[in-house]
């Protein structure tokens, strides 16, 4: 009886070993077929062959583990390659779908290098999608995509810059200021840093202009100061600040701001800047300087008012 059991055991082991070898051979053939299809340009066919290889290998336990990982690596790389191709032609939704498929297999093989690369492409894809939505004036959706990008790479400066632009359109001051800071912290691109500062400067200048129209001069000066804080190279920021200070009868600061605006070379709007300077001098009681400044308003929307103030009100020589 013991002899029969031993014979049956050996027979089962032989059959089992034969089946393992047969299945391992089948898995290998599927793997090689995947290589052949990929080389011929049939990427989806290759993926299916690699999936078949991984499925068969997975049933073989430790014996098939190595081949299974190799097949899953190939699937991961092929999905990523297709995603990159879609990304390059700005088909971001398709790219994200393919990167998601790749990510599924990246988690299976637990490769940190691939995982890092995918996160970079996810961040870039969601940022690209956000940019496309921004151009269509879908600002909230754009912001949502920039935030999604940052879930993959919290230090992705282009996404933070997108948030600067999105926040400026949504009048979200808090988000704008945080995002400008993040661009400064995470970007090594000086041009991008400058663009973020310019965008913030323009945002606060717009708020300043709206406040001036409403004669809310304290709010106007505060926002003009914010604008200058972010970007000191815009003469209009000093011009608006001069207007707001004149509205508050803060003649000295109005003079300083107007003179600063005038100091920028090549400006076509200097007539407007001289007009605010003249108002500041007139308000302070300096007739001589007011006359001179009004006289420098050679053209523009304030020309007639400047002439009236000079010739009729102040009776300049």
Q: Please report the pLDDT score of residue 69 as a whole number.
A: 85
pLDDT-above-90 percentage for the chain: 73
Q: Measure the CA angle with vertex 263, ends 259 and 265; round to 5°.
A: 150
pLDDT over threshold 60, residue 4: no
How many other C-beta atoms can be found within 10 angstroms of the C-beta atom of residue 172?
18
User: What's the pLDDT band for 24 if we cut at 50, 70, 90?
Assistant: low
Main-chain phi, psi angles of 183, to 5 degrees: -60, -45
User: What's the pLDDT band for 35 if we cut at 50, 70, 90?
Assistant: confident
For the entire predicted model, the pTM comes to 0.86
The residue-averaged pLDDT of 198-218 equals 97
CB 142 within 8 A of CB 159: no
| Cβ within 8 Å of residue 82, ≥6 positions away | 43, 98
Q: Please report the pLDDT score of residue 64 as a whole number.
A: 65
Q: Please report the pLDDT score of residue 49 as a whole number.
A: 86
- Rounded to whole angstroms, how far apart are CA atoms 46 and 37? 5
CB 220 within 8 A of CB 211: yes
DSSP string for 48-88: HHHHHHHHHHHTTTHHHHHHHHHHHHHHHHHHHHHHHHHHH
User: What's the pLDDT band for 6 if we cut at 50, 70, 90?
Assistant: very low
* Residues 108-152 pLDDT 10s: 988 888 999 999 999 999 999 999 999 999 999 999 999 999 999
Query: Domain locations in the chain?
Result: 24-110, 224-317
pLDDT over threshold 80, residue 2: no
The residue-averaged pLDDT of 47-65 equals 79
Q: Please report the pLDDT score of residue 71 as a whole number.
A: 86
Domains 24-110 and 224-317 fall in the same CATH topology = yes
The class level of CATH for 24-110 reads mainly alpha
The residue-averaged pLDDT of 237-260 equals 97
Any idea which fold 224-317 has?
1.25.40
Q: Which residue has the higher pLDDT, 59 or 258?
A: 258
Q: Please report the pLDDT score of residue 22 as a whole number.
A: 67
């Amino acid at each position: 009886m013991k002899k029969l059991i031993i014979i049956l055991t050996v027979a089962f082991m032989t059959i089992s070993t034969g089946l393992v070898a047969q299945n391992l051979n089948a898995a290998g053939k599927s793997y090689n077929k995947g290589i052949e299809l990929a080389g011929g340009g049939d990427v989806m066919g290759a993926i299916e062959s690699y999936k078949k290889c991984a499925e068969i290998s997975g049933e073989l336990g430790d014996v098939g583990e190595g081949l299974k990982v190799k097949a899953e690596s190939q699937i991961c790389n092929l999905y990523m390659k297709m995603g990159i191709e879609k990304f390059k032609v700005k088909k971001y939704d398709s790219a994200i779908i393919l990167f998601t498929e790749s990510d599924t297999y990246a988690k299976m093989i637990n490769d940190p290098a691939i995982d890092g690369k995918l996160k970079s492409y996810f961040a870039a894809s969601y940022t690209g999608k956000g940019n496309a939505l921004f151009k269509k004036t879908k600002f909230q959706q754009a912001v949502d995509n920039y935030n999604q990008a940052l879930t993959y790479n919290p230090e992705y400066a282009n996404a933070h810059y997108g948030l600067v632009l999105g926040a400026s359109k949504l009048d979200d001051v808090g988000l704008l200021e945080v995002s400008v800071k993040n661009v400064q912290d995470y970007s090594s691109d000086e041009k991008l840093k400058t663009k973020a500062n310019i965008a913030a400067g323009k945002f606060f200048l717009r708020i300043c202009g709206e406040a001036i129209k409403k004669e809310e001069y304290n709010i106007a000066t505060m926002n003009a100061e914010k604008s200058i804080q972010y970007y000191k190279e815009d003469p209009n920021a000093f011009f608006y600040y001069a207007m707001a200070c004149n509205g508050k009868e803060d003649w000295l600061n109005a003079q300083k701001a107007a003179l600063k605006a005038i100091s920028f070379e090549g400006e076509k709007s200097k007539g407007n800047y001289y007009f605010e300077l003249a108002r500041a001098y007139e308000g302070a009681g300096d007739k001589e300087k007011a006359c001179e400044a009004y006289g420098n308003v050679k053209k523009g929307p304030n020309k007639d008012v400047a002439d009236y103030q000079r010739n009729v009100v102040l009776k300049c020589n």
